[in-house]
Amino acid sequence: MEKFLVGVIMGSRSDWETMRHATETLEELGVAHEVRVVSAHRTPELLFEYAAGAKERGLEVIIAGAGGAAHLPGMVAARTSLPVLGVPVQSRSLNGLDSLLSIVQMPGGIPVGTLAIGPAGAKNAALLAAAILANKYEAVSAALERFRRQQTATVLADPDPRLP
């Protein structure tokens, strides 16, 4: 059975359009990951089971995305000592400010590393997860360095914004 290092979870299938940016980035970096819908409100038992068993199953980082009353990252962090990275999904009614505040305002003692609202946050959650893993896995460290080099080269190669 493949060993997954990162668990990417989200509160609803409707979060996938945002969270796919996390999985695409992990794929680009060659980081083995699993993807699941786990809802804090609709499947609370699954949430506790997932968080409680995550470390034992070999996961080393959890990326949790949710929108609105976004309790998923915080509740996962309450049940595991693994690093939890929270992605606020842009909600329809409040543009994700509700998601951001729900995720970022954790009480002292139970941290959630909170990223930006939306796709940029999902992408950066994957990069941050890779940076955590890079301390232990040389291949991930090399992939991350390569990603940064390529990103810089892409910007430098196309400096005139008037050209298509």
Given candidates 51, 64, 75, 89, which one binds ligand RP5 under the rule CB under 6 A? Answer: 89
Q: Is 20 flagged in the annotation as binding?
A: no
Which residues are registered as beta bridge partners of 33? 6
Q: Is 42 flagged in the annotation as binding?
A: yes
Which residues are registered as beta bridge partners of 36? 9
Q: Residue 69: how many CB atoms within 10 A of its CB?
A: 13
Given candidates 15, 59, 61, 75, which one binds ligand RP5 under the rule CB under 6 A? Answer: 15
Q: Which is nearer to ligand RP5, 10 or 76 (CB)?
A: 10
Q: Which stretch binds ligand RP5 (CB under 6 A): 4-12, 110-118, 136-144, 153-161?
A: 4-12
Task: Name the region of 96 (left: φ>0; alpha: ψ -120 to 50; beta: rest).
Answer: left
Is residue 14 within the footprint of ligand RP5 (CB under 6 A)? yes
Could you tell me the CA-to-CA distances from 95 to 8, 17, 33 in Å, in that order?
22, 15, 28
* Residues at the site binding ligand RP5, with contacts judged by CB under 6 A: 10-12, 14-15, 39, 41, 66-68, 89
